[in-house]
Amino acid sequence: MNLKAEFLTFAIAISSLLGFTSCSEDDTTIAPETPTTTEAQTVKDVAYASTSSAQKMDIYVPAGTGPFPAVVLIHGGAFKAGDKAMEATNAAKLVANGYAAISINYRLSGEAVFPAGVHDAKAAVRFVRANASTYRINPDKIGTWGASAGGYFSAILGTSGGDAYLEGTEGSHLTTSSEVQACIDWFGPINFSTMVAEGLALGFASTYNVDNESQFLGVDANSPSNIDIVDKASPTTYIDVNDPPFWIQVGSVDPLIPYTQSLNFYNSLNSVLGSSKVGYELINGAGHGGSLFSTEANLAKAIAFLDSQLK
């Protein structure tokens, strides 16, 4: 081998090494690459759009060649707080069961109001699907899972696939589908205009309000004059026969979101999709999240539902 060829070989090797080591947790944008490993991977702070620094995701990939079914995890926090790191435990559970887990951040209500957060969630799904081969993901098997505000996002992703108003123009994959194949909704708010009345009916007069939902919308969710935007924000509005299967759980003594929000959503889904595609469970004694949701037995129910739809 002559000197020129030796130098070229050395340059290629160095370039390859630099490309491998560049995907640090501090990167704001990670370009898609062809996967070069079958080892388990955790890639932090992958940018799925560029409008806001909030538009990032953490990607957890199991060991193996894949392609793996994927679940987009969406954190709660009353639409105004929270972080993707809150879903690390559920991500680990998914990876242990053969799923790629994608935990996303989105613009919170203090930064941008509806439909910005929904636009972000859809952009994240589009990014995952468009870059599926990079992360050993099956692009035809993508689910969602969220609690509270995250449950809302999971629900609206499930019912509004392809809706032009909610798709938005975030990210670089606008022609890629944002439809998902399975949804887990843990105690998400669904119909903001009826939350207070439902809370009063259940006897939680001192705690139920829609202050956070109003901040998310940018208008008073209780005002009849705003019913148009409230309806546009409701996952129920977009239900049709093409929606994916749902698994819905809620606590019987939730002091923040009336459990009838989940029950009514279930009934609306069931009337269109049928009982074989929609599951609902009222967890007796459970509040707004907490230990009864995170038991091994209950997490096993969530995994079993995902397995039935994505594997």
For 35, 61, 207, 232, the CA distances from 133, given in Å and listed in that order, are 7, 12, 46, 34
pLDDT bin (cut points 50, 70, 90) of residue 127 is very high
What is the reported pLDDT for 37? 83
Read off the pLDDT band of 168 (50, 70, 90): very high
Q: pLDDT tens-digit profile of 30-66?
A: 444 555 689 999 999 999 999 999 999 999 999 999 9
Q: List pLDDT tens digits, range 256-279.
A: 999 999 999 999 999 999 999 999
Judge whether 207 lies within some domain: yes
pLDDT at 174 over 60: yes
Q: What is the mean pLDDT of the chain?
A: 90
Contacts of 246 by beta carbon, 8 Å cutoff, 6+ apart: 155, 158, 182, 183, 184, 185, 266, 269, 273, 277, 278, 279
| pLDDT at residue number 1 | 43
The pLDDT tens digits for 87-98 are: 999 999 999 999
pLDDT the model gives residue 208 = 78
Give 17's pLDDT tier (boundaries 50, 70, 90). very low
Give the pLDDT score at 309. Answer: 98
Provide mean pLDDT across the span 294-306: 97
The predicted pLDDT at position 204 comes to 81
Query: 188-214: per-residue pLDDT in tens?
Result: 999 999 999 999 999 887 677 899 999
Residue 98 maps to a domain: yes
Assess if residue 2 is contained within a domain: no
Q: What is the pLDDT at residue 298?
A: 98
Q: What pLDDT, on the 0 to 100 scale, is given for residue 22?
A: 33
Per-residue pLDDT at 7: 34
Does residue 16 form part of some domain? Answer: no
The answer to whether residues 100 and 73 touch, using CB atoms and an 8 Å cutoff, is no
| Domains contained in the chain, number | 1
Print the domain residue range for 261.
28-310
The verdict on residue 49 lying in a domain is: yes
Residue with the bigger pLDDT between 12 and 212: it is: 212
Which parts of the chain fold into alpha helices (H)? 3-21, 88-96, 116-130, 149-159, 164-167, 195-202, 211-217, 227-233, 259-273, 296-310
Q: Is the pLDDT of residue 28 over 50?
A: no
In this structure, is residue 1 part of a structural domain? Answer: no
| 44 in a structural domain | yes
Question: Tokens in use for 40?
Answer: 């388990």
Is the model's pLDDT at 246 over the cut of 90? yes
Residue 16 pLDDT exceeds 90? no
For the full predicted model, state whether its pTM sits above 0.85: yes
Distance CA 250, CA 139 (A): 29
Residue 76 lies in a domain: yes
**In CATH, what number is assigned to the domain containing residue 176?**
3.40.50.1820
